[in-house]
């Protein structure tokens, strides 16, 4: 009787172990995570030529390019290189700037309202090109925005909106290039 009890326990242990060993390969794929992101393994360097500017605003494309360069350096996944030596090139075109009222104050009809804040939006057209494979990795249009108070109408107030929009835009571009989102 004691031998039958031991055999029953032993067989149930073997059965549970077998089920467990069969489930491990199936479940292990569910828990896999990678920090490699969306960067192809052969791309180690990127060139960031000056963004083309198709708007009437002066100096914004230079500001975007400078902040984007700093964002890539801070991220440190891809090294910045010249166009001739880079594995990939990220080209951009500033295509649109919108400056529209965002918040209002006042009461009554439309004539009695004052603009509190403006929303400044930037839209860029991007192309991420793999020089090693001689193919476009992705093309995308991105927009970002910032707000600024409209109290005196001075250029300094508007600069705040540009800074916010450019900061958001450059982070979005780095995320798209490195992580794919």
CATH number of residue 45's parent domain: 3.30.160.150
- Domain interval for residue 29: 1-33
CA 3 from centre of chain = 65
> Considering the entire predicted model, what is its pTM?
0.76
**Over 70: is that where the pLDDT of 116 sits?**
yes
**Over 50: is that where the pLDDT of 32 sits?**
no
**Over 90: is that where the pLDDT of 154 sits?**
no
18-22, 53-57, 112-116, 130-134: lowest mean pLDDT where?
Answer: 18-22
Query: What pLDDT shows up at residue 33?
Result: 45
Specify the pairing of strand 114-130 against strand 88-105.
Answer: antiparallel
CA angle 102, 108, 105 (to 5 degrees): 30
Q: How far apart are the first and last CA of the chain?
A: 65
Whether 13 and 98 map to the same domain: the answer is no
Whether 3 and 22 map to the same domain: the answer is yes
Quick one: which H or E segment has residue 58?
none
d(CA 130, CA 127): 10
Question: Do residues 157 and 115 lie in contact, with contact meaning Cβ atoms separated by under 8 Å?
Answer: no
Question: Do residues 48 and 62 lie in contact, with contact meaning Cβ atoms separated by under 8 Å?
Answer: no
Nearest to 92 by CA among 169, 5, 178, 1: 169
- Report DSSP state, residue 110: G
Whether 17 and 86 map to the same domain: the answer is no
Whether 100 and 121 map to the same domain: the answer is yes
**Over 70: is that where the pLDDT of 120 sits?**
yes
Helices (H), the chain: 2-28, 60-75, 155-179
d(CA 11, CA 38): 48
Query: What pLDDT shows up at residue 168?
Result: 98
- To 10 degrees, what angle do helices 155-179 and 60-75 make? 40
Which residue, chain included where needed, has tokens 């991105």?
142
* Residue-wise pLDDT tens digits, 78-99: 999 999 999 999 999 999 999 9
Whether 59 and 111 map to the same domain: the answer is yes
- What length is written for the chain? 181
Nearest to 165 by CA among 127, 103, 123: 123
14-18, 27-31, 116-120: lowest mean pLDDT where?
Answer: 27-31
Whether 9 and 65 map to the same domain: the answer is no
d(CA 159, CA 148): 8
């Amino acid at each position: 009787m004691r031998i039958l009890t031991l055999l029953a326990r032993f067989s149930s242990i073997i059965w549970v172990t077998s089920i467990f060993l069969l489930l491990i390969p199936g479940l292990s794929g569910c828990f896999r995570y990678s920090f490699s992101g969306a960067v192809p393994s052969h791309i180690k360097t990127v060139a960031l030529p000056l963004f083309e500017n198709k708007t009437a605003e002066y100096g914004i494309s230079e500001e975007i390019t400078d902040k984007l360069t700093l964002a890539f350096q801070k991220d440190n996944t891809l090294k910045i290189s010249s166009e001739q030596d880079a594995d990939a090139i990220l080209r951009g075109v500033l295509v649109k700037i919108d400056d529209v009222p965002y918040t209002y104050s006042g009461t009554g009809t439309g004539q009695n309202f004052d603009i509190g804040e403006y929303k400044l939006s930037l839209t860029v057209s991007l192309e991420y090109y793999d020089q090693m494979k001689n193919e476009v990795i992705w093309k995308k249009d991105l927009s970002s925005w910032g707000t600024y108070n409209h109290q005196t109408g001075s250029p300094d107030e508007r600069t705040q909106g540009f800074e916010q929009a450019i900061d958001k835009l450059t982070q979005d571009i780095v995320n798209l290039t490195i992580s794919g989102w």
